[in-house]
Amino acid sequence: MIEESNKASWLVLVSALVLHLLLVSLPGAPAGTGFARSLIMDALTPVQRLVDGSVHAAASVWESYFALRGAHEENLRLEAEIDRLRMEVQQNREAVLENDRLRRLLSLDPPVEAPVVARVTGADPTISQRTVTLNKGRSAGIEPGSPVRTPDGIIGRVIHASLYSSIVQLVTDPVSAVGALVQESRVQGIVRGDGGTLLLFEHSAGGAELRAGQVLVTSGADRVYPGGLPIGVISSVGTETDLVSTAVVRPLASLGRIEEVLVLARGLP
């Protein structure tokens, strides 16, 4: 019943529209049709307004959709461009920092013969990190026994060199030994690793008194490291026995954050 009623309503509406069109389109329509025409026009005006409003609303929604879609795509493009620029800035900043480090390496004092700049590519997985691996070896002129340093101070010596890589024993290794002297008093001794992150300075008892803050440099007596290279700073002085006096030394080079190093010519003449 409902479907039949709907059909009847649609038939009436369509018939009225057709009749309206006929009445409007007839140029010589009799005057008696004016009332019917007015009645039909008044009846259809709300429908026309509804249809017209719906069409305009749909067009507006469609235009808004395309406008929002275009804005969204533009936002995505701008975000991608911002991300690209951020990456470029980060890469440029890293390049600047690397250039600064390399410039410091190549302007060290005292001058060295045929230095090789190498990058640290690996480290001993143990907590002490007693060795590090470099990305250059014999093909670059690196040989076992070559001393290795950073702008801040020595870090160790090469103990193995293959064709394209090498292994450096850090000065913090307990079996490492470096001829050293106190820069201020010229007291000589030996620096050994403590197996952790510090060094131990041992010298013959009876020499000048040691104190915290004094700087240690290489003495050249071990014939591995050239004399005058910075080693570390005395952080505390231990007890003195009849034969040996010891002190704890903090390395000047940041051994846990090494990126580039300078490998010096092997030993001394």
Cα within 13 Å of Cα(69), Cβ side: 6
Place 244 in a pLDDT band, splitting at 50, 70 and 90: confident
Which one is predicted more confidently, 269 or 187? 187
Residue 250: pLDDT over 90: yes
Half-sphere exposure of 268 (CA within 13 A, CB side): 12
Q: What is the pLDDT of residues 69-84, one digit of tens each?
A: 677 777 777 777 776 6
SS3 104: helix
Residue 248 has pLDDT above 70, yes or no: yes
- Does the CA dihedral 232-237-241-242 come out positive or negative? positive
Q: What distance, in Å, lies between the first and last C-alpha atoms of the chain? A: 116
pLDDT tens digits along 182-238:
988 888 899 999 888 899 998 876 666 788 999 999 998 888 898 889 999 999 987
Which helix (H) or strand (E) segment is 121 a member of? strand 116-123
The span from the CA of 74 to the CA of 146, in Å, is: 58
Whether 243 and 130 have beta carbons less than 8 Å apart is answered as: no
| Nearest to 240, CA basis, from 215, 203, 193, 188 | 203
Band of pLDDT at residue 169, cut at 50, 70 and 90: very high
Of all residues in the chain, the percent with pLDDT exceeding 90 is 29
In this predicted structure, what is the pLDDT of residue 258?
Answer: 87
- Beta strand 147-149 with 131-134 is unpaired
> What is the pLDDT, as a whole number, of residue 31?
46
State CA 232 to chain mean position distance: 30
Residue-wise pLDDT tens digits, 117-156: 999 998 876 655 689 999 999 999 999 999 999 888 999 9
Q: Are 102 and 95 in contact (CB under 8 A)?
A: no
pTM: predicted TM-score of the whole model, two decimal places: 0.58
In contact, 210 and 234? CB cutoff 8 Å: yes
Among candidate residues 135, 170, 162, the one with its CA nearest the CA of residue 251? 170
